[in-house]
Chain A
């Protein structure tokens, strides 16, 4: 992954939540340790282990959007290795054993992650459940390594004290939360979120999708492996029953229910796993009813469709904060008389003799249907060209082909004279060919600034960010994308794509969902892009007023063929074009 040190989150965004949590944990952990009887101390240790395993499930399922029903199999791998390392007169420091246990789970994470490069959703659920069942069988047949006289795993001093072990486990919770918090602020965490929303959009931001998915699985397996090792140290003798598939299912359900991609969601899930059955027992109810209640809670959360408990809490807090600040209304800020902010012309793109984008003889077939038929298109340097045509003419197909999302097209695509044909989508994006999507592919979990920084793929200063947001009438950097309407989200997407300083920018219906005045304002801004950023734009748009305001040249597609091209005004007056739009047969 490129630029892992690029800061996506600023500390400020999550600071209150984080501070409260860290403070709470610190007080709770130290205070409770001295007050709790050993039974409760044991439970509180279990809770820490539960938090860790819930966090591992939250990462792969909640954050990266890949269903995993085998988290406890990863934990079992970690437990097995820790048990093995603890055989005989083990001298290795205990924390190192735990660490190696976590690392031992990583290959399994990668192994399960590899199918995830092709399998998604339901299919991924099937294969991970199958893996969980197979792993369970293996551990049942082979058993865990055991010492002959004592319990398998006896942590050496000082970890043999319940109190120290308890502190150790919660210390691990804090370390893991800090590390994942760091990953979130770097590019990695946001990339995991991005694949969940759209793999194409992730690749279009220049990120290697297979790598992103594999790191998600590997990291998740590592964390789950740590939890398994910690469990082995806590209970001494682990059995396959500790890691049975049912447990993985329950962890998955709880992660969904609580929103375990968030720290506080994982905390809630871990506490529930460890404490809820005991609570039921205290109430005189059978503890196994806990699973039943978890499952019903999960269905209820899914029914409401507003994310896990932690997600809902964050949303509620955000709304309350927004109300308290009486923030200006979300959506585009309209200031008719503001002039375009002065931007530094970078001139980073060489203006050679070759056009910015040169498409020759592009033919795309979907089975019998010819979607594009020998299309040629030249986009000169530092110009805005428009691509128009009736619905189904093949405009988006052309953008897909240029940006690397179609396999097996015929023809040649060159950017500044360099052939793109052999490059995968994310390499084309890095080579300076960026796009936006008709459906709008921002990431609702991020705020505007986070998204633009992620899309930029490079360090973006605060002043540069705010200039860019102003340029497109985007909301303030701290505004969550989830609170924006569809049209405004598109503006943010355009700003993000441009933040990467591309040589060519393909905009697929950027004005859809915008009110008319906002649409024309966007068009005027698009017209200024070449001047300010030295970037060429290919614009797809249905609104002709927008096209006229933004572009100097127009290419018209109909049924996959170019039927006209030339200066915008001339082309729009052309009878062939009018006929294509109105469905008339052309009369002389």
Chain B
């Protein structure tokens, strides 16, 4: 099967389980949304998938192949791309160089420019000088330069004005149409639910809800429960 699949994944940090028994499926051609309040373990989960942290147990497969024992660059070369939190540009490199650093084919820059025409005028600008929104486009573009089959995106709305996020979100729909599997991690639910197909809600390291995004859009209570209430929604 062509996708990202997590089975009974438990991740420990400092001896404590941060995520427990996670089962998650991010198929190609779909946008999967992972929601949850701050500290729920969303970033930890993405870090475990891409190999940033190596303390996961269970099974993580990419296109049917177990990747848990592989190094970060090996996972990347198998088609996994991870856009980290906080716009992880190479600030001293130009926009073009940033893309080339992630490229595995000669037409990478052209493809990224086709997707984000706003960056064309900035091609030779130092990436550290871009606006927050442009930097976000750049890290997504850079990840796509390696032609990934699955793209992990961590909290791209962090520190960005909602209007900027609204501009970038539709890109994920477009990428999904091209057959890329997207796993979108968000703290802000509303925008993510507009572009997503399936949604998972993570709270205190456990999946407390799984369902269609459309379904969740109508269930404000579920989200409020996970975000603002004393106990996770799933326990009520």
Seen from chain A, the residues whose Cβ lies within 8 Å of a Cβ on chain B are 390-392, 485-487, 512-513, 516, 520, 542-546, 548-549, 572, 578, 581-585
Contact = CB atoms under 8 A, between A and B. Distances in A.
Contact of A542 (B37, B224, B229, B230): B37
Nearest to A516: B204
B178 interface: no
B227 A581 contact: yes
A485 B39 CA distance: 17
16 contacts: A390-B188, A392-B158, A392-B159, A485-B14, A485-B15, A486-B13, A512-B39, A542-B37, A543-B37, A543-B39, A578-B224, A578-B228, A581-B187, A581-B188, A583-B186, A584-B190
B168 interface: no
B142 to A, nearest CB: 22
Contacts of B223: 582
B38 A583 contact: no
B14 A486 contact: yes
Interface in B174-212: 186-191, 204
B7 to A, nearest CB: 24
Contacts of B224: 578
A486 B16 contact: yes
Contacts of A578: 224, 228
A487 B205 CA distance: 15
A117 to B, nearest CB: 30
A582 B158 CA distance: 12
CB-based closest 8 A-B pairs: A583-B188, A545-B230, A584-B190, A542-B38, A544-B228, A486-B14, A392-B159, A582-B189
A219 B157 CA distance: 52
Contacts of B190: 582-584
B188 A582 contact: yes
Contacts of A486: 13-14, 16
Nearest to A513: B16
B39 A542 contact: yes
A544 B227 CA distance: 7
A578 B16 CA distance: 31
Contacts of A572: 228
A340 to B, nearest CB: 20
B228 A390 contact: no
A545 B231 contact: yes
B64 interface: no
A201 B23 CA distance: 40
Nearest to A581: B227
Contacts of B14: 485-486, 513
B187 A391 contact: yes
A548 B189 CA distance: 22
Contacts of B229: 544-545
Most chain A beta-carbon contacts within 10 A, residue among B158, B224, B228:
B228
Nearest to B189: A582
Contacts of B39: 512, 542-543
Nearest to B16: A485
Contacts of B37: 542-543, 581
B165 interface: yes
B162 interface: yes
Interface in B1-53: 13-16, 37-39
B182 to A, nearest CB: 18
B187 A390 contact: yes
A585 B13 CA distance: 35
Contacts of A545: 229-231
Contacts of B230: 520, 544-546, 548-549
B16 A516 contact: no
Nearest to A511: B39
Contacts of A548: 230
Contacts of A391: 38, 155, 158, 187
A567 B39 CA distance: 25
Query: Which of B38, B162, B230: most chain A CB closer than 10 A?
Result: B230
Contacts of B157: 583
Contacts of B227: 544, 581-582
A544 B223 CA distance: 13
Contacts of B189: 582-583
B23 to A, nearest CB: 21
Given A487-B16, A543-B37, A582-B190, 20 more contacts: A390-B188, A486-B13, A486-B14, A513-B14, A516-B204, A542-B37, A542-B38, A542-B39, A543-B39, A544-B227, A545-B229, A545-B230, A548-B230, A572-B228, A581-B37, A581-B187, A582-B189, A583-B162, A583-B189, A583-B190
A74 B173 CA distance: 67
Contacts of B16: 485-487, 513
B158 A581 contact: no
Nearest to A483: B15
Nearest to A509: B39
Contacts of B155: 391
Nearest to B227: A581
A543 B68 CA distance: 31
B114 to A, nearest CB: 28
Contacts of B162: 583, 585
Nearest to B37: A542
B221 to A, nearest CB: 12
A581 B191 CA distance: 12
A520 B155 CA distance: 27
Nearest to A489: B14
